[in-house]
Amino acid sequence: MRAWQAGFGRSGSGALSPAQPASATPRRAALKVRTAWISDVHLGTPGCQADALLDFLRHLECDTLYLVGDIIDGWQLRRHWYWPQAHNDVVQKLLRHARKGTRVVFVPGNHDEFARHFLDQAFGGIEVREECVHTLADGRRFWVTHGDLYDGVIQCARWLALVGDALYEFTLKLNRHLNSLRARLGLPYWSLSKYLKLKVKRAVSYVSDFEEALAREARRQEVDGVVCGHIHHAEMRDIGGILYCNDGDWVESLTALVEHADGTLAIVHWADHMAVSEPHPADAACVTSSAG
């Protein structure tokens, strides 16, 4: 829990610096929802888009916030300690949400599996649960799990997963250099690792098999749907009567899953939201897909 503890004794940095007065930054509309799910933040790695996540958390107003695993990357931190101020600020912002009355539930994943030693405990108001069931405003019940326990790569060959993780980190580094060049050329952000993953993993039916496995387990548990993370691929689709929802990640896609007041679910693409300088309040969520 070292990374969590690093955030307890320090103040957050939500305020703008003197060089950036509040008047210079137009205030965007708050994202007011009943529930939000985020996962695969990977704090402790250079690939974590902490500034974008902080922007999301500053605009988010919700009753319940689920942290659906891989919030802290324990695998990478064991190899090399990397913890910039922005990552500490994310922890502080999550703690602040809990202090201000938001129910914050942390469901650990494979990269922060150390937290599974602290199940059914709370730290700074953040509950730690192995998995849970969330009831939507319209009465539908959704199973919430990171999803790593249903990933054949993780379960059958942990060493292969670690090798894959190292290769993934390499593509993220290459991706940062590529997008730095694209920015100088005035081109939009493009995710190399996401492109490679869709080309390679889908070729071997990885994503499809993962989704089917989660849907089968949700059906066995007699719930209406499942919310997961793990594969860094935001998705919402019906699989044999089970609504499969993956909230994506904060390394590549910058996505979250949200529940509106009426129980409607939607995927939020925060990169699109940040790209709009003065959004109309009705567009605050930047929803690209939804399901009632």
Model confidence pLDDT, tens digit, residues 86-140:
999 999 999 999 999 999 999 999 999 999 999 999 999 999 999 999 999 999 9
CA angle 201, 210, 199 (to 5 degrees): 15
pLDDT band at 77 (very low <50, low <70, confident <90, very high): very high
Cα 269 to Cα 41, 57, 62, 109, 246, distances in angstroms: 14, 13, 17, 22, 13
Stretch 202-220: mean pLDDT: 80
Strand partners, 36: 65, 258
Determine how β-strand 287-291 pairs with β-strand 64-67. unpaired
pLDDT band at 217 (very low <50, low <70, confident <90, very high): very high
Domain count, the chain: 1
Average pLDDT, rounded, for the chain: 81
Residue 226 CA to residue 235 CA, distance in Å, equals 11
Sheet containing 132-135, strands listed edge to edge, beginning at the edge strand earlier in sequence: 132-135, 141-144, 225-228, 242-246, 235-239
112: number of Cβ within 10 Å: 27
What does the pLDDT read at residue 157? 45
CA-CA-CA-CA torsion sign (58, 225, 68, 234) = negative
Q: Which domain holds residue 214?
A: 2-291
What does the pLDDT read at residue 287? 43
53 contact partners, CB below 8 Å, separation of at least 6: 38, 41, 90, 250, 254
Cα dihedral 133, 45, 101, 24, rounded to 10, equals: -130
Asked if 243 contacts 225 with a C-beta cutoff of 8 angstroms, the reply is yes
Instruction: Produce one character per residue of 256-290: b if its CB has 16 or more CB atoms within 10 Å, e if not.
Output: bbbbbeebbbbbbbbbbbbeeeebeeeebbbbeee
What does the pLDDT read at residue 284? 42
Q: Which stretch of 41-45, 197-201, 225-229 has the lowest confidence by average pLDDT? A: 197-201
pTM above 0.85, yes or no: no
pLDDT band at 61 (very low <50, low <70, confident <90, very high): very high
Residue 48 CA to residue 50 CA, distance in Å, equals 6
Question: What interhelical angle do 85-99 and 50-59 show, nearest 10?
Answer: 20
DSSP 19-67: TS-GGGSPPPPPEE-SEEEE----BTSTT--HHHHHHHHHHEE-SEEEE
Q: Which residue has the tokens 């790695």?
A: 45
- List the CATH number of the domain containing 151: 3.60.21.10
Residue 131 CA to residue 128 CA, distance in Å, equals 9
pLDDT band at 181 (very low <50, low <70, confident <90, very high): confident
What does the pLDDT read at residue 173? 64
